């Protein structure tokens, strides 16, 4: 620790070079934070999907509806504890940029299958007693400043009402949940939709069933699909995780794409840091030799050089990851809405960024530090004295 001040002074011996190196590392890890956040947003549903839930869609496509009568038949399939349905609404609140996920659901079965959604009992009672009632996520309510009892008009885009073009809803409840739960969704009663839409009566978007044993998911899925085989509405049943993963895959192989970009960012930053340290060592060859002559061990000089690289990389990474944590979120990136919840840089990704910055510092510093140490070792092994180069004169 007594040499920390010396290392710190060496870091700033070339202030402009150090500042530009820090800026490059800072920008790199700000970009890294954004990339990891986008990746998390598109895989959000895959990570939190329930292992004991199956999703049942039309065999042709998710956009093809299914009959509401399938619910009672699903209840009779061995292994199924409960079934519910959801219907995508796709309306617009005030402005198209305010788009968020809206689903028509059956309140009782929906809350029974999704116990992770926490709703006060009095608000559940209010929702069940109000045909126009809606259950909204806490983050969504905070986004628009909604509170219990507010009247919410939503412009129709898919399901047109029998009169006019606007659906009216009352905020009957605000749901919460633990970390990882999407709290940006808007749920309203299916019976209100079915009774008041101008077309599509008796149809739902998809089903979600809760099974008694996650290990039997494949067998139950097959039994469900066989039951509805050779009907006008054939089905395709998968686990909720597979359904979420298939939806995310509609955007392409984002893991590969984002991972490749992040890797390119890390490698580029490594080259920048390594070049900075190599230049610093070359400029101080004489100084390093003097330190060795004064008695500084090679190991200490090695730590001096490697320590400078680690400090520069960690400082740039800390500022970049910290600023990304503060400013990067779904609203800033314009990526909130639909199936994409509100999100931000989480602690794990920030810590990953710091860890990578430390790794870059170590790798960027270890190469020039090793070269300097080897050079010092060779220098120390060379004979010295007036007759060192001419042994024959020694007599």
Among residues 151, 142, 45, the alpha carbon closest in space to that of 93 is found at 151
pLDDT by residue for the chain (395 residues), tens only, comes to: 566 776 777 777 778 887 888 888 888 877 777 777 776 665 554 444 567 899 999 999 888 999 999 999 999 999 999 999 999 999 999 988 888 899 999 999 999 999 989 999 999 999 999 999 999 999 899 999 999 999 999 999 999 999 899 999 999 999 998 766 888 899 999 999 999 999 999 999 999 999 999 889 899 999 999 999 999 999 999 888 777 666 555 555 566 777 777 778 778 877 777 777 777 777 776 777 677 777 777 777 777 777 777 888 888 878 877 777 777 665 555 554 444 555 566 677 777 777 888 787 777 777 777 776 666 666 555 555 555 554 444 44
Q: Give the three-class secondary structure for 81.
A: strand
Order of all β-strands in the sheet with 53-58? 151-155, 166-175, 133-137, 186-189, 102-105, 80-88, 206-211, 53-58, 235-239
Q: What integer pLDDT is reported at residue 379 of this predicted model?
A: 56
Q: What is the pLDDT of residue 393?
A: 41
pLDDT score at 324: 75
- Domain boundaries defined on the chain: 4-44+252-380, 60-233
Supply the angle between the helices 298-327 and 4-11 in degrees, to the nearest 10.
60
The span from the CA of 388 to the CA of 393, in Å, is: 9
Query: 173, 126 in Cβ contact below 8 A?
Result: yes
272 vs 276: CA distance, rounded Å: 6
Query: What are the residues whose beta carbons fall under 8 Å from the beta carbon of 214, sequence distance 6 or more?
Result: 51, 52
Which position has the token pair 């970390």?
179
DSSP reduced 3-state for 202: coil
- Amino acid 395: pLDDT: 40
Q: Which residue has the tokens 């909604």?
A: 146
Q: What is the pLDDT of residue 392?
A: 44
Q: Which tokens in the block code for residue 162? A: 């029998």
Q: Determine contact, residues 208/53, Cβ cutoff 8 Å.
A: yes
φ, ψ of residue 230 in degrees (nearest 5):
60, 30
Give the model's pLDDT for residue 338: 45
What residues have CB less than 8 Å from 60, skipping those under 6 apart? Answer: 234
Write down the pLDDT at residue 120.
96
């Amino acid at each position: 620790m007594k040499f920390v001040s010396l290392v710190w002074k060496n870091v700033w011996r070339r202030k402009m070079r150090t500042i530009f190196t820090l800026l490059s590392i800072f920008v790199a890890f700000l970009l890294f934070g954004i990339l990891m956040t986008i990746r998390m947003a598109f895989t959000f549903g895959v990570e939190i999907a329930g292992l004991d839930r199956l999703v049942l869609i039309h065999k042709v496509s998710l956009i093809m509806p299914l009959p509401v009568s399938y619910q009672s038949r699903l209840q009779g399939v061995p292994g199924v504890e409960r079934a519910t349905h959801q219907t995508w609404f796709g309306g617009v609140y005030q402005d198209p940029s305010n788009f968020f996920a809206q689903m028509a659901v059956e309140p009782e079965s929906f809350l029974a299958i999704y116990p992770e959604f926490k709703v006060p009992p009095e608000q559940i009672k209010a929702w069940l007693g109000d045909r126009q009632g809606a259950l909204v996520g806490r983050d969504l309510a905070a986004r628009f400043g909604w509170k219990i009892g507010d009247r919410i008009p939503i412009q129709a885009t898919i399901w047109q009402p029998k009169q006019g073009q606007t659906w009216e809803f009352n905020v009957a409840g605000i749901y919460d949940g633990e970390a990882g739960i999407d709290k940006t969704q808007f749920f309203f009663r299916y019976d209100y939709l079915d009774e008041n839409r101008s077309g599509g009566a008796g149809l739902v978007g998809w089903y979600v069933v809760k099974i008694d044993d996650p290990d039997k998911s494949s067998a139950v899925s097959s039994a469900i699909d066989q039951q509805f085989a050779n009907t006008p509405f054939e089905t395709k049943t998968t686990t909720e995780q597979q359904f979420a993963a298939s939806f995310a895959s509609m955007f392409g192989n984002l893991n590969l794409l984002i991972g490749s970009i992040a890797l390119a960012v890390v490698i580029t930053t490594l080259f920048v840091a390594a070049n900075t340290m190599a230049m610093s060592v070359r400029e101080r060859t004489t100084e390093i030799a003097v330190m060795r002559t004064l008695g500084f061990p090679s190991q200490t000089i090695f730590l001096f050089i490697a320590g400078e690289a680690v400090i520069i990389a960690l400082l740039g990474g800390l500022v970049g990851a910290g600023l990304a944590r503060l400013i990067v979120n779904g609203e800033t990136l314009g990526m909130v809405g639909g199936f994409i919840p509100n999100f931000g840089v989480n602690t794990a990704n920030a810590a990953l960024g710091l860890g990578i910055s430390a790794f870059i510092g170590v790798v960027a510093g270890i190469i020039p530090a090793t070269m300097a140490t080897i050079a010092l070792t060779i220098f120390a092994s060379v004979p010295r004295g007036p007759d060192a180069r001419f042994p024959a004169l020694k007599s």
